[in-house]
Amino acid sequence: MPAQSKAQQRAAGAALSAKRGETKVGELQGASKQMYESMSEDELEDYASTDLDDLPEHVDDDD
């Protein structure tokens, strides 16, 4: 499942970096911390690799 917004893609990238040990888990906050705790490395890679063309900055929560 690809990311639905640019913000979601960036959060997944930060969480993926922490999963791989490239950044410290303690530096994560908000959505990236939740993603780190609840998603596998493969899931995070799928989200983080989403093409940013035509993605909105944020997803509307009203859906």
Helices marked H in 1-63: 6-19, 31-38, 41-48
What is the predicted pLDDT for the residue at 14? 97
- Residues 22, 19: Cα–Cα separation, whole Å: 8
pLDDT in tens, 9-63: 999 999 999 999 999 999 999 999 999 999 999 999 999 998 988 888 988 765 4
Q: pTM value?
A: 0.86
- The whole-number average pLDDT for the span 1-13 is 91
